[in-house]
Amino acid sequence: MSKLKDLGNDLYSGSKSLDIVGRRKVWYFVGIIVVIASILVPVVKGGFNFGIEFRGGSEFRIDGVASSSQELARDAVRSIEPASEPLITTVGLNSVRVQTEQLDDVASEEVRIALANAYGVESSAVASSFIGANWGADVTEKAVIALVVFLLLVTLLMALYFRTVKMSVAALMALVHDMVITLGVYALVGFEITPAAVIGFLTILGYSLYDTVVVFDKVRENTLDVEFSETTTFASQVNLAINQTLVRSLNTSVVAVLPVASILVIGAVILGAGTLRDIALALFIGIIAGTYSSIFIAGPLYVDLRQRERKFSPKAVTAKV
């Protein structure tokens, strides 16, 4: 702990420095490769695994089961609907959730009875429900509208606060990086995209922007009068700001990701709770990606955007010296 504190002090004072801005092409390359891979994963796997709330269908929940064998549920459903490919999830220690395509009332009741018989429980222990695809479409439409409005407001607010729209552009690019990677991981592991997952995605927006704003606030402080300096450059001052906030960003991320990792393990492995698992995966990947992008993407990208201006270009600094 003492060594970490000393490292933080050295990075803040500038006695030690990691050349993050100078090696930005490496970070861009890593980010681009991961983003491209994240885009290709759902294409190769045939899309995302949307939950019943978005695609519509019938859902059954069997409580008080002695055995949580998924084969019992699969055989019971196929005894009524031979072509069905049910999605079966263990919930807690003694419950099973079964999701199928849309069934009519007669078939739904037959499946409900078949599941009760398969698990040896009373028919009243099997609850059935139906969710129409229109509900999912409405939720998706509202979520997209809310996301667009949120991004527009954030762009405007950051542009006003930092007095440059280029910081907003850099922050949004980092945000896109985080969201694409998180969606790619979801497609890779096959977890359902449910309303809980959407909540996790939206939470990532706030976390990623918070971490980026912390870095940018220090960047603004360090670069206020850099255009008049004959001893330093815009890029070096941005690099100093990133180093000064590096330990803070890492500490914040570790503190945030550890409980999320616990929730993910408990929800996915021990309890089998879909809601906990879905939201925890989004948060877990989003926090890690957000930490990377705030340090290695947002700041260096802001340097590239500002160095296009004559007063901050390397040529201008050389001429001044």
Q: Which CATH number fits domain 2-50+135-320: 1.20.1640.10, 1.10.150.20, 1.10.10.10, 2.60.40.3080?
A: 1.20.1640.10
pLDDT digits (tens, 9 = 90+) for 167-204: 989 999 999 999 899 889 888 888 778 777 887 888 88
CB proximity list for 126: less than 8 A, separation 6 or greater: 60, 61, 62, 63, 112, 113, 115, 116
pLDDT digits (tens, 9 = 90+) for 6-25: 666 666 666 677 899 999 99
Asked whether the beta carbons of 287 and 201 are under 8 A apart, the reply is no
Task: Evaluate the CA torsion angle 94, 100, 103, 106 in order and state its sign.
Answer: negative
How much is the average pLDDT of 233-260? 87
CATH number at 57-131: 3.30.70.600
Asked whether the beta carbons of 131 and 56 are under 8 A apart, the reply is yes
Asked whether the beta carbons of 97 and 150 are under 8 A apart, the reply is no
How much is the average pLDDT of 49-73? 83
Residue 319 banded pLDDT, cuts 50, 70, 90: very low
Confidence (pLDDT) at 37: 95
Six token digits for residue 133? 């695809």
How much is the average pLDDT of 196-221? 84
Domain range summary for the chain, segments of one domain joined by +: 2-50+135-320, 57-131
Asked whether the beta carbons of 214 and 253 are under 8 A apart, the reply is no
- Full-prediction pTM beyond 0.75? yes
Write out the DSSP string of 167-205: HHHHHHHHHHHHHHHHHHHHHHHT--B-HHHHHHHHHHH
Is the pLDDT at 321 greater than 50, yes or no?
A: no
How much is the average pLDDT of 95-109? 86
Confidence (pLDDT) at 89: 78
Confidence (pLDDT) at 296: 93
Among the residue ranges 233-242, 252-261, 312-321, the one predicted with the least confidence is 312-321
